[in-house]
Structure 1
Amino acid sequence: MSELVNEIDQSFVLLGKASVNFDNRYVSKVFRELGPLRRNLVKSGKPLEVLSTVVNKTYPESHPNVGALRQIVGGSSTIESDSMEIDNTETSDAEILPEIDLYVHLLVQVVLLDLGELEKLDSFNNTIIDILQNYNKRSLDFIQAKIWFYIARTKELIGDFLTIRPALLNALRTSTLRHDDETTGSVITFLLRNYLLTHDINQASNLVEKTVFPEHSAGNAIVARYYYYVAKIHAIQLDYSSAHECCITSIRKCPQTQLASGFIKSSSKLNIVIELLMGDVPELKVFKNNANDATASNEVASSFLPYFEVTRAVKLGDLKLFSEVLKKYEDVFKKDDYYTLILRLRQNVIKTGIRIISLSYAKISLKDICIKLHLDSEESTEYIVSKAIRDGVIEASINHEHGYMQSKELLDIYSTKLPQSEFNQRIKFCLSLRSDSVKSMRYPSINDGKGDVKNGLEGKDDEFDLLKAIEEGDLDDFID
């Protein structure tokens, strides 16, 4: 227990440096050690006693927040009582830094969440929300964002999605006015997730349109979550091209670590569904390392196999196979919350089947098309084929009197003017690119080379700092 207390004290030292120097790199170091500390607290078997020791050692009796903390973690610890009395006398009149105060509350949140005390944690979160309103300091941005994450997570686990919205909107307004980009980005993602879980798509879309997400100043993990939710909103609103771009950005921005594997899976599944809705077929390598790998775990294999089967049904244009796959993996699609999007693929399956039939037959009756595609009736088949012709899916015509579809002969595309126009567009693009490059190189530098020497010296200093950071193992802090 004493080792855990000492480890928390070391975090307090780093938080003190962050408060004095206004440098969030020290807070980043504390958060990198939060995961191992969290696991060690659970393994100790007495996490609340450890936090009780920390509270009694750190907080004076007159501090306004010590009462709420002791109500959760317990009273004075009986372990190392002599040293505790000494520490209390030393810190009785000391002022607790806001960074340390919020970090202790964050540790209490984490411990209560790991112990499953959701009701106690929910009531404790109300106290933390009141405390957050009293602090306005830029070195608290990362800690506040992390605290709001556990507040939103607690409400989600309880199933209470509505009562947290006013607090999140108030936090978004406050963080925006204070230019707290980290908290602003985090709260926007929490609100989007809340709206999507309750299927309030219009409110989520309005939030995206009326807020400015701090993409360049927020962390990559927050940016990845934001683009994932925006992609989902665009997909539901039938804007598949924008959804595809946001989904690709989300996958690229996501940290490529083992802890982010679940998020990468969800983003990849959404990207597969969006590509199918756009009329494209995902590459085989998306499924090859997941669904068809014999050495993969059962969880990974079962997660991508339903989407592989759906892709195969869409590619073949087999409506019967698509219905069987949809019925077989209905629970999986509903759990992933992509069931409504996959239902839209039925039209794509029909269009693919009609395209294959038009390429295979010069003339075929509507009755045979109905039998091959497993449609309901000849009237619905005629309507579907007519719509496919109007949309440009196939080149054919319908004889309504005799009830058949006749495909048009395929023309050689090189006998038309289309290749010439495409080649002309590429030439214009290359010429405009060359013109812009020449314009940017035409005028010399104003400093006549003096600026280059200065930039060269600054580059050497940056290179020296980078080498020093690599030797000391603080490369992440140097990048931040």
Structure 2
Amino acid sequence: MGLGGVSDVEMKDADSPVEVDPAEQKKDADLAAIEEIREHTRQIEKAVHNKEQRFILRVLRALPNTRRRLNGNVLRKLITGYFTHSVQEKDALLAYVEESTESDTPTTVRMRSNKTSSTPLLTEVDTYIHLLVLLRLLDTNKCQEAVQCSTILMNKVASQNRRTIDLIAAKSYYYHSRAYELTNQLNQIRGFLHARLRTATLRNDFEGQAVLINSLLRNYLHYHLYDQADKLVSKSVFPELASNNEWARHFYYLGRIKAIQLEYSAAHKHLLQAIRKAPQHTAVGFKQTVQKLAVVVELLLGDIPERQIFRHSSMRRALIPYFQLTQG
């Protein structure tokens, strides 16, 4: 009996899974996120010192993944760790971040050396961390706070004349516009966007130009100001060196403008270009929206869209009503 009892205990210990404390697991995930963002700031610093924009481009490409890992704990540690040179700036950013959920005393993560802790942050790093705070506000539906936060961010960006900040500034313009769109205040920033577009054009800031032109087109289309949107297109030149994502947005807006002007052939051409320029494996919602308009335009041209469009796995459900239209 004694031997049997020992055997039972040993078998139970061997087979029982190791219990993982959810709090510890979350803490590990937060520390991994902080380390990843620290690496991003190093890449930004490297880009500034070497005047190589490709390092910043790499950081911005990782932004969707970084965004998913953000929370109050991560942002508070980042802000506290980086903004050691100014209590005022630190407190101003912390005001937009939700309280930490950690029950114990939060661990301080050293971000800067003693040598640099009292000197101002690189403008590009400062702007990047500010952008992360804005993204968190948008993701938690704190839209009014996002408007305030993005306005402060724009003041930072507009006061700089550095080519190394251009890519981060372009991304910031997009989310600034998004914050105002979600609060139905897009008309309030039209003048600002035009002013920044003039500046970006003079500085040959191609990505900034592309984002600002698209933001203005979206702004006009939001209020059904198609004539003003068409005038902007005719008086501006969309930069050839813009990213594929911005080209995809631009072609979509052109397609919408031409469709309203009853120029269906031109509209259909632009919409097909938007689909081709869109990311292959992501941006499903965008591609569905473009495809819906493309089907309607093709029907208005008197043509029947190809059946394979409706069979695509990512399009099948969204396009059911449009498929039924083609059978009418």
Provide the TM-score with structure 2 as the length reference. Answer: 0.83
Preserved CA contact (<8 Å) 1:60 1:88: no
User: 1:372-451 alignment to 2 at 5 Å?
Assistant: none
Look up the match of 2:119.
Answer: 94
Whole-angstrom CA distance in 2 between matches of 1:31 and 1:198: 30
Q: Structure 1 residue 35 and structure 2 residue 50: aligned?
A: no
Shift of 1:28: 2.0
The 3 A distance-change label for structure 1 pair 15 and 309 is: same
The 3 A distance-change label for structure 1 pair 19 and 302 is: same
Look up the match of 2:324.
Answer: 309
Preserved CA contact (<8 Å) 1:105 1:128: yes
Preserved CA contact (<8 Å) 2:76 2:94: yes
**Structure 1 unmatched ranges of 5 or more:** 42-46, 291-295, 314-480
**Structure 2 unmatched ranges of 5 or more:** 1-29
Whole-angstrom CA distance in 2 between matches of 1:131 and 1:204: 28
Whole-angstrom CA distance in 2 between matches of 1:108 and 1:251: 31
Look up the match of 1:458.
Answer: none
Preserved CA contact (<8 Å) 1:60 1:91: no
Shift of 1:17: 0.8
Q: Which residue identity does 1:146 align to in structure 2?
A: K
SS, match of residue 139 in structure 1: helix
Moved more, 91-100 or 240-249: 91-100
Whole-angstrom CA distance in 2 between matches of 1:284 and 1:9: 49
Whole-angstrom CA distance in 1 between matches of 2:254 and 2:283: 19
Whole-angstrom CA distance in 1 between matches of 2:271 and 2:259: 10
Whole-angstrom CA distance in 1 between matches of 2:278 and 2:186: 26
Q: Which of 70, 80, 90 is 1:56 aligned to?
A: 80
SS, match of residue 195 in structure 2: helix
Shift of 1:268: 1.6
Preserved CA contact (<8 Å) 1:59 1:91: no
1:107-130 CA deviation, whole Å, 9 max, x = no partner? 101111112211111111111111
Matched residue pairs, number? 296
Q: Which residue identity does 1:170 align to in structure 2?
A: A
User: 1:331-342 alignment to 2 at 5 Å?
Assistant: none
Look up the match of 1:145.
Answer: 170
Tell me: higher relative CO, structure 1 or 2? Use CA pairs within 8 A at least 6 residues apart.
2
Shift of 1:73: 3.2
Q: Which of 208, 228, 237 is 2:233 aligned to?
A: 208
Whole-angstrom CA distance in 1 between matches of 2:279 and 2:97: 34
Look up the match of 1:223.
Answer: 247
Preserved CA contact (<8 Å) 2:85 2:120: no
RMSD: 2.3
User: 1:30-429 alignment to 2 at 5 Å?
Assistant: 30-41=59-70, 47-62=71-86, 65-73=89-97, 79-81=106-108, 89-214=114-239, 216-257=240-281, 259-287=282-310, 289-290=311-312, 300-313=315-328
Shift of 1:207: 0.7
Whole-angstrom CA distance in 1 between matches of 2:112 and 2:50: 26
The 3 A distance-change label for structure 1 pair 137 and 151 is: same
SS, match of residue 242 in structure 1: helix
Whole-angstrom CA distance in 2 between matches of 1:190 and 1:2: 35
SS, match of residue 43 in structure 2: helix
Q: Which residue identity does 1:193 align to in structure 2?
A: R
Q: Which residue identity does 1:191 align to in structure 2?
A: L
User: 1:448-463 alignment to 2 at 5 Å?
Assistant: none
Look up the match of 1:376.
Answer: none
